[in-house]
Amino acid sequence: MKIFKNLNFTLLTILSILILPGIFYGIIALFGKNDIFGANNYIPWTILIATYTFFVSSIGCCFVGSLNNVFGIKKYAIIETKAIFLAIIIVLTGMAVIFVELGQPFRIFVQYVINPHITSPIWWMGVNYSIYLIFIILEFVFIISNRAHFARLAGIFAFIAAVAAHSTVGSVFGVMTSKPLWYGPYLPIDFILCAWLIGFSIMILITSILNDKNYSSLINEMSKWLIVLLFLNLFFIFWKVITGLYSGEEDKYFGILALINGPISFKFWVFEIILGIFIPVILLSKKIKTRFIFIISTLLAIVGMFVNKLNMVHSGQIIPLEIRRPEQFEFIKINITLPEISIITAAIVFVILSYYVAEKIEILKPKEE
């Protein structure tokens, strides 16, 4: 908590100001027009969809938070409240991002209820996340009010709902038969792996910033898990690339080519692989690890995961539809606009500010047994 008390008002003001452009563009998108974003009819889903999938991957904080409450691993109790709080606030922020991205977002509240479509993963995603939010908020309330039994019960349901909800996000892409790079059971599984990875990264980052000696052994343990998860992620990416290169489906093959040797290859190799996986693994494998190393390596892993989602969304759609593909085709141009960057910045800053306030009012302190 010391670190937050040392934060000065100027820094807080700057952070608050950073939210304003995002709010401004969010309002324009909600009530004005959607063409402030880089998406178009050739590539309907772009960076805001990637941002949403990244933010809701923070469901991994719920996984980490459940290690004590659900699986009985006691040492995780000291970060439980922080993890659960972050799992709530980041998922809600992600939902705010997707809300802004939708064409007619206010219709969701009515249409989801009166016209449900059970074959649609997006409908299930909404339902599962709603259930998840109910249980995880209950879990949080029970934890801070010291009602351990109810907290455990709510935690179990929140964990089940979290797995269901987040794998459904993967299935939103996984059921797209017209996008061979996405289609199949890989993405729902991959999304769960990424959620664990992001969950551990965020919790190591937060506990390292807080710089409390009570966390040091837990940080070490979590960093070992993070190394395993980073390797698993690399393993998944490796086989995705190899199987894609052997694919007879042109969309899949060229999607992978775009990733490894095309317009998104820089983001893939530099941000997703080198900075997002190799550097954190190297740093975290050192025998003597400083607080700085933990902060840098987890920040890089988080950035790597964001770029992973971005590349996933883009590589699936970067090949022009076969019907529109001329004899000599070019990959579809990806546009990232200032409003999109402003909204993403606002979302990140909002999460930081929310966490700061929560720490300041001391609701995230670990509870006594």
Q: What is the DSSP string of 319-333?
A: SPPGGG--SS--PPP
Supply the minimum distance, in Å, between the C-beta of residue 203 and other proteins: 31
CA angle 146, 149, 153 (to 5 degrees): 120
Binding site for other proteins (CB under 8 A): 32-35, 39-45, 102-105, 107-108, 111-112, 115-117, 119-123, 126, 172, 175-179, 247-248, 250, 253-254, 257-258, 261-263, 317, 321-331
| C-alpha pair distances (Å), 317 with each of 25, 188, 231 | 25, 18, 27
Quote helix, strand, coil % in the chain, to nearest 5: 75, 0, 25
Do residues 340 and 38 make contact, with C-beta atoms less than 8 angstroms apart? yes
Residue 101 CB, nearest distance to other proteins (Å)? 8
Give, in order, the Cα–Cα distances in Å from 177 to each of 111, 164, 185, 242, 252: 25, 21, 12, 20, 11
Nearer Cβ to other proteins (8/119): 119
CB of 259 to other proteins, least distance (A): 11
The CB-of-27 to other proteins minimum distance in angstroms stands at 14
**Closest distance of CB 294 from other proteins, Å:** 38
Complex with other proteins: residue 227 or 334, whichever CB lies closer? 334
Work out how close the CB of 29 gets to other proteins at its nearest, in angstroms, rounded to a whole number: 9
How many Å apart are CA 318 and CA 252, to the nearest integer? 10
- Report the C-alpha gap between 65 and 76 in whole angstroms: 7
Both tokens of 359, joined, read 């720490």
Burial 337-347 (b: 16+ CB within 10 A, else e): bebbebbbebb
Minimum CB separation from other proteins for residue 254, in Å? Answer: 6
Distance of CA 351 to the CA centre of its chain: 12
CB 87, min distance to other proteins, A = 24
Q: What is the C-alpha to C-alpha distance for residues 329 and 321, in angstroms, rounded to an integer?
A: 10
Query: What whole-number distance in Å separates Cα of residue 103 and Cα of residue 340?
Result: 15
Nearer to other proteins, 114 or 288 (CB): 114
Conformation bin of residue 104: beta by default, left when phi > 0, alpha when psi is -120 to 50: beta
